[in-house]
Each structure stands twice: as C-alpha cells, then as structure tokens.
Amino acid sequence: MPVGRFLKRDEIRQLKRKCRERNADAALVLLEHSIRCGHRRLALRRLFVALELGAICTSRHMRYCHFVARAYSPVELDEIRRGALSDTADRSQTRPP
C-alpha cells in the first residue's frame, strides 16, 4: 500500500487484521497514517501496538507521539496503552466456532 496517500477504510481494516495477526509492518503503516492525518490519541495507540509487535519506529514517530503524550496524564496514557495491547490480542480464541 502506498504510504504517500491517505488510506481507504478497507485498507485500514485489512491492516488492523494483520496487526491482530502480529504483523509489525502493518502496525507501522497504520501509525504512519495516523501521524499524517494528525491523529493524537489514535497515533499513541498505534505506537503502542507497533512497539508491542516489535516494529522499529523512527525518530519522527517517537517525536510526534512524545509531543502528543504530554497532553495526557500517566493514568490516561496507561489506559491508552492497555487498550492498544488489547488490539493485538488473538481474538480467534474468543470467537464461537
């Protein structure tokens, strides 16, 4: 998927599915998209997902998210982090057969 444009909803859904399958590259594409769109909370969430999946984030990713994180309390950041980590959980275990 080209990184220089905004992603379409279908592309985002596919990337989120890949993240649940523990694909670090997909997590980076979503993070990059959120930064490009100026998302704040969502960019933080996606940073936490990318880091959890072992992605190598750039200094640009880290600078943006560090700037955004200053607006949140430690408790809020922990809530965002916990929500992000639940995004990486394997949901196939919880689906009915």
Average the pLDDT over 58-83 and give the result: 97
**pLDDT tens, 17-50?**
999 999 999 999 999 999 999 999 999 999 999 9
| C-alpha to C-alpha distance for 29 and 92, rounded to whole angstroms | 23
| C-alpha to C-alpha distance for 65 and 31, rounded to whole angstroms | 10
User: What does each C-alpha distance from 22 to 32, 46, 77 come to in angstroms?
Assistant: 17, 13, 22
- Inform me whether the pLDDT recorded for 90 exceeds 80: no
Which tokens is 37 given? 């769109």
Match 């930064």 to its residue by tokens: 35
User: What does each C-alpha distance from 45 to 39, 77, 84 come to in angstroms?
Assistant: 10, 9, 5
Mean pLDDT, the chain, as a whole number?
A: 89
- Inform me whether the pLDDT recorded for 91 exceeds 70: no
